């Protein structure tokens, strides 16, 4: 069940299954799966915490959110909110601003000092987590809450992984990340930094670990062969973004070209502008529609003056210029060279062609299989090596913070079960609450609240946060736009419209039941339920 209500069974009188011949179908209360919940890679109970938020109980909303995701303030800034793409409200006016409300709750928790307690009985088991990025931190958090002793070993100097070294501070202020990581420290997770694990079986033996979760991030930049003169300046986007954390301009010159079309390319170009480049130009061999970068990243880059050269590829680089070749799409949509060239002034080139994971740690491990640059795992996130699990960038899937957090949580659930000698079973998924099951007549038009943005001058010249948060009034309004798809919120519609007085109220939070001795099966309650929480099923005689 998606919302925090007690389950109500359809209990009738002694005639519940032997009704008269007047009724062909009977209404029953059901719980359906909200599409936002279904689409969340982190597995959040979005509708559940929105329910608390729309009632003004922000701490209850935050605590329910924290059961699945320890980084609401971070996610409210860097998540690409696929949930909103599937929100049923989007077919009525605008999708609910789920991401904005999540950020509001995360920021409220930081401002008010809300914390998490670990009340689980110690299990006596020890788990090693390799990598302190979003996936590793998520797994460590969930495992600690389950009662296990957890140690995170990180090769770098601090926690956060690419949240810290790869995402610019104008998208994710480091103070926000630090506050949310600190909560994981506060519940007792042990951290060791500047330690690169090179032999996982040995590390597990030395530390008396019963299981391990590998969550090494994709931090190796992909290379490309580009002929270049001796004085040409070329560097990779990962190194550039990591090196620019102190907001000092590397010696790149005034005209910077970024080669690639993903989110990292957008971050590199926007960062170059902030560090003083007069021109930041993204060169990509395909069209905008084919760019892997999310639309919001491309739009914000264009707003800030980043230039785009689509259907182009870099052929040669000299000290102050480069040679581009124009491309064209063939009948399959694949870019092909045209033999047409043009010269572009440039002082440096940043390669943003994707990142790979260093998988040397698993080389030669019995049972561990690597395919297409990722580790193969089963549905339980375990490799072929008993007790060794993997997730995040190391396994197949979209490489986002949200996906990493979801992997960490799922791995933790499975590690917990494996340590107990059982198998984790995901709760049964309810039927999807589709838009056609709702009665939207009851929802007035309420366009979504738009998050304010930093003024353009400061966006181009500082690392101040670009997208700002909602104030309490707007956050509350946004939460109340949720239509509670598929789950009863006790609006009393069924109770009020029933012509036979067959709906019985059970009290606050307990919903209703049908008295089938009175119900004639007219179906008015079904059609008038705003959220589609009543189904019509064939009667049994």
Residue for token digits 């047409």? 340
Mean pLDDT of all residues in the chain? 92
- Which range has the worst mean pLDDT, 102-111, 204-213, 316-325, 524-533? 316-325
pLDDT the model gives residue 6: 37
Parts of the chain belonging to CATH 3.50.50.60 = 126-220+356-419, 223-353
Angle at 442 between CA 519 and CA 504, to 5 degrees: 30
Question: In this model, does residue 342 exceed pLDDT 50?
Answer: yes
In 3D, which of 122, 193, 191, 186 has the Cα closest to residue 155?
193
Question: In this model, does residue 433 exceed pLDDT 70?
Answer: yes
Q: What is the pTM of this model?
A: 0.91
For residues 139 and 429, which has the higher predicted lDDT (pLDDT)? 139
Question: In this model, does residue 9 exceed pLDDT 60?
Answer: no
Q: Which helix (H) or strand (E) holds 112?
A: helix 98-112
Q: What is the pLDDT of residues 240-257, one digit of tens each?
A: 998 776 655 567 889 999
Mean pLDDT of 485-497: 96
pLDDT the model gives residue 10: 43
Q: How big is the chain, counted in residues?
A: 541
Q: What is the pLDDT of residues 409-426, one digit of tens each?
A: 999 999 999 999 999 988
- Residue 403 C-beta-side C-alpha neighbours within 13 Å: 13
Question: In this model, does residue 8 exceed pLDDT 50?
Answer: no
Residue for token digits 């040995």? 202
Question: In this model, does residue 21 exceed pLDDT 70?
Answer: no
- Which range has the worst mean pLDDT, 167-171, 241-245, 422-426, 525-529? 241-245
Rounded CA-CA distance 213/391 in Å is 8
Rounded CA-CA distance 290/288 in Å is 5
- Which fold, 223-353? FAD/NAD(P)-binding domain (3.50.50)
Question: In this model, does residue 329 exceed pLDDT 70?
Answer: yes
Nearest-10 Cα torsion for 239, 245, 251, 255: 90
Mean pLDDT of 261-275: 94
Q: What is the pLDDT of residues 498-521, one digit of tens each?
A: 999 999 999 999 999 999 989 999
Rounded CA-CA distance 420/410 in Å is 16
- Provide DSSP, 261-287: -SHHHHHHHHHHHHTT-SEEEEE-SS-
Q: What is the pLDDT of residues 117-132, one digit of tens each?
A: 999 999 999 999 999 9
Question: In this model, does residue 101 exceed pLDDT 70?
Answer: yes
Question: In this model, does residue 17 exceed pLDDT 60?
Answer: no
Residue for token digits 């959110």? 65
In 3D, which of 399, 480, 401 has the Cα closest to residue 171?
401
For residues 539 and 327, which has the higher predicted lDDT (pLDDT)? 327
Q: What is the pLDDT of residues 255-266, one digit of tens each?
A: 999 999 999 999
pLDDT the model gives residue 247: 56
pLDDT the model gives residue 15: 43
Residue 528: partners with Cβ closer than 8 Å, 6 or more residues away: 439, 493, 494, 497
Name the CATH architecture for the domain at 126-220+356-419.
3-Layer(bba) Sandwich (3.50)
Rounded CA-CA distance 301/255 in Å is 16
Mean pLDDT of 106-126: 96
pLDDT the model gives residue 365: 95
């Amino acid at each position: 069940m998606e919302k925090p209500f007690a389950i109500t069974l359809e209990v009738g009188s002694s005639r519940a299954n032997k009704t008269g011949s007047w009724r062909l179908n009977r209404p029953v209360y059901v719980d359906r799966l909200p599409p936002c919940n279904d689409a969340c890679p982190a597995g959040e109970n979005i509708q559940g915490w929105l329910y608390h938020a729309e009632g003004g109980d922000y701490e209850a909303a935050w605590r329910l959110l924290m059961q699945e995701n320890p980084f609401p303030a971070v996610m409210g800034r860097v998540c690409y909110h696929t949930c909103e793409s599937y929100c049923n409200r989007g077919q009525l006016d605008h999708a609910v601003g789920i991401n904005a409300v999540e950020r509001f709750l995360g920021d409220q928790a930081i401002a008010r000092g809300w914390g998490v307690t670990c009340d689980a009985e110690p299990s006596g088991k020890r788990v090693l987590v390799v990598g302190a990025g979003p996936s590793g931190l998520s797994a460590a958090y969930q495992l600690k809450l389950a009662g296990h002793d957890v140690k995170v070993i990180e090769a770098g100097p601090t926690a956060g992984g690419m949240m810290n070294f790869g995402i610019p501070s104008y998208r994710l202020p480091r103070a926000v990340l630090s506050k949310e990581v600190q909560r994981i420290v506060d519940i007792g997770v042990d951290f060791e930094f500047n330690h690169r694990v090179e032999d996982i079986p040995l590390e597990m033996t030395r530390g008396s670990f019963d299981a391990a979760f590998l969550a090494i991030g994709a931090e190796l930049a992909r290379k490309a062969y580009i002929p270049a003169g001796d004085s040409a300046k070329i560097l990779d986007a990962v190194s550039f973004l990591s090196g620019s954390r102190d907001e000092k301009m590397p010696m790149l010159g005034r005209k910077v070209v970024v080669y690639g079309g993903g989110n990292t390319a957008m971050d590199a170009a926007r960062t170059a502008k902030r560090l003083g480049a007069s021109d930041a130009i993204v060169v990509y061999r395909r069209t905008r529609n084919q760019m892997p970068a999310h639309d919001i990243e491309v739009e914000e880059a264009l707003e800030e003056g980043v230039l785009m050269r689509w259907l182009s590829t870099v052929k040669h680089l000299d000290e102050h210029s480069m040679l581009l070749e124009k491309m064209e799409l063939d009948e399959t949509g694949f870019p092909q060279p045209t033999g047409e060239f043009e010269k572009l002034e440039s002082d440096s080139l940043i390669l943003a062609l994707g990142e790979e994971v260093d998988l040397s740690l698993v080389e030669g491990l019995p049972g561990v299989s690597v395919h297409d640059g990722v580790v193969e795992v089963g549905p339980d996130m375990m490799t072929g090596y008993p007790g060794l699990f993997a997730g995040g960038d190391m396994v197949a899937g979209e490489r986002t913070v949200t996906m990493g957090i979801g992997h960490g949580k799922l791995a933790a659930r499975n590690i917990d079960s494996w340590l107990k000698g059982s198998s984790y079973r995901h709760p049964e998924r309810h039927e999807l609450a589709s838009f056609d099951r709702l009665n939207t007549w009851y929802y007035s038009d309420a366009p979504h609240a738009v998050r304010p943005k930093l003024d353009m001058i400061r966006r181009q010249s500082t690392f101040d946060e670009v997208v700002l948060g909602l104030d309490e009034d707007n956050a509350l309004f946004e939460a109340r736009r949720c239509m509670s798809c598929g789950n009863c919120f006790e609006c009393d519609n069924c109770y009020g419209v029933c012509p036979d007085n067959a709906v019985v109220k059970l009290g606050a939070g307990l919903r209703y039941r049908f008295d089938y001795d009175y119900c004639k099966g007219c179906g008015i309650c079904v059609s008038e339920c705003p959220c589609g929480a009543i189904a019509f099923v064939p009667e049994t005689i």
